[in-house]
Structure 1
Amino acid sequence: MARIAKIPEERRNELIDAATTLFLEKGYEETAVSDIVKKINVAQGTFYYHFKSKSEILEAVVDRFISGIETTLAEIADNRQTPAAIRFNDAVNYLIAIAEGSREVLDDVHQENNAVMHDRIAKMTMARLVPVLARIVDQGAASGEFNAHHPAEATDVILSALFWQFHQPRLMEDKQRLARIRATLEHLLDRMLGTPDHTFVLNLN
């Protein structure tokens, strides 16, 4: 079957699509560059025209996932007409919705043969999303809504607590414990950001 010539950006996106599918199905460790090119019927030279290594295409896979989340969070953060507390609450609930809607993907990422992918996602998430959420906290502190002395560190701790919950799929089956964790996280938000009790309401159900 003859290969179809495509513009470079389109071919690059196809390679990322193929790598994403294979990393989730087989695991990053078990996927070879030859598997990726075979999936879309291109030569290995095409792969190396776009990416230097399997590690580099993993960066592209994770970047695509995080970029979409980062864009939406930035839209929430930059809506200055909305009070900071509401924006922060909306941002956290957006992250919860993403995690709950991606449960099967997260289960695949948490497999032992995807440890490298999991680590890359965790590092890029903290590096890219903490500054966006910290921006809301900075604005809330400036307006007097928040009383957080270290916005970036507070956001780091809050995200870490959320990520711990995302890594506990069985929690979703224990509704009573999930309710207690939700109340604890809401209390943590109030204490760390210096807001009145029950300012934050998380959509953990």
Structure 2
Amino acid sequence: MFIIARIIKEAEVRRAELMDAALELFTSTGYQTTMIIDIVKKAGVAKGTFYYYFPSKEAILEAIYNRWATDQATSFKEESRQLTALPKLQLFIKYLFLPSQLDLLFKRLWDEENFNLDYKAWGNQVENVFNPLLADIIQQGNQEETMHVVCIKETITFFWSTLSCLWEASIFQEPSEVFTNKRKIAQAVLEKILGIKEGVLELSIAHNRLA
């Protein structure tokens, strides 16, 4: 049993090392110009080791996004365990906007016009990791009568559209006044679509996260 546990741990460490190497190269050199051979050289492993864990460069990009999303979701669930729906929603949004190295990766992908890669990787995390959490928050808000949402699935779509405007404004370092105005609009929109009392929701979001 000890040997099996050690092998599993070593596999997790090796996989993480490959992801760390890929993330550093994607953000510093660029996704487009980084080759799999560059990743394995940086990680200090054979090329076959890469393919043991990841079938392609796009797959390791997806894994990087998933690791970030899973870590955020785990931390959020731990911190929000005793919260009512509205504070839980505000904390959920705060976690989504915490500065991370993924911001640099997102910016690099957009600079290279790899929009489809970013949309696919991010969309998978939204669908599989974040949407179940968000649906639970809304259902709790409905039960507590601090939210009034009938079509939860459809409303969640508008939720992400609203946040994406703020996320891009933050990443691309729009002027502070513009960002503040967008945040106020986003608060009003989210209150409207979630059936929250006007003036109650406050978004705690970092501005100029790459500065």
Kept in 2: contact 1:16–1:57 (CA 8 A) = yes
* Higher mean C-alpha displacement, 33-42 vs 105-114: 105-114
Residues 90 and 169 of structure 1: is their aligned pair in 2 closer, same or farther, counting only changes over 3 Å? closer
Q: Identify which of 44, 55, 71 aligns with 1:68.
A: 71
> Could you tell me whether the CA contact under 8 Å between 1:29 and 1:113 is conserved in 2?
no
List alignment gaps of at least 5 residues for structure 2.
1-8
Give 1:3's aligned residue. none
Distance 2:22 2:172 in 1: 30
Q: Distance in 1 between the 2:143 and 2:91 partners?
A: 19
Moved more, 104-113 or 135-144: 104-113
Give the secondary-structure state (helix, strand or coil) at the position aligned to 2:55: coil
Change over 3 Å in CA distance of 1:103–1:47 after alignment to 2: closer
Aligned partner of residue 98 in structure 2, secondary structure: helix
Partners of 2:153 and 2:77 in 1: how far apart?
15
Amino acid at match of 1:97: L
- Quick one: distance in 2 between partners of 1:170 and 1:132? 24
**2:34 maps to what in 1?**
31
- Who is 2:12 aligned against? 9
Amino acid at match of 1:186: Q
Give the C-alpha shift of residue 146 in structure 1. 1.1
Change (3 A) 1:191 1:113: closer
1:45-194 alignment to 2 at 5 Å?
45-76=48-79, 79=81, 81-98=82-99, 103-112=103-112, 114-127=114-127, 128-169=129-170, 172-194=173-195
With the length of structure 2 as denominator, give the TM-score of the two structures: 0.80
Structure 1 residue ranges without an equivalent (≥5): 1-5
Say if 1:76 and 1:137 are closer, same or farther in 2 by CA, change over 3 A.
farther
Question: In structure 1, what residue type is equivalent to 2:108?
Answer: D
- Residue 3 of structure 2 corresponds to none
The answer to whether the 8 Å contact 1:145/1:195 transfers is yes
1:18 and 1:151 map into 2 onto residues whose CA distance is: 39
The residue type equivalent to 2:115 in the other structure is A
| In structure 2, C-alpha distance between the alignment counterparts of 1:44 and 1:97, rounded to whole Å | 34
* Cα distance, 1:169–1:183 mapped onto 2, change above 3 Å: closer
In the aligned structure 2, how far is the partner of 1:30 from the partner of 1:143?
Answer: 51
Which amino acid in structure 1 is aligned with residue 68 of structure 2? Answer: F
2:25 touches 2:39 (CA, 8 Å); kept in 1? yes
**1:31 offset after TM fit, Å?**
1.6
Change (3 A) 1:119 1:27: farther
Question: Any idea what SS the aligned residue of 2:150 has?
Answer: coil
Q: How much has 1:132 moved relative to structure 2?
A: 0.8
Give the secondary structure class of the aligned counterpart of 2:107. helix
Whole-Å separation in 2 of the counterparts to 1:16 and 1:174: 33
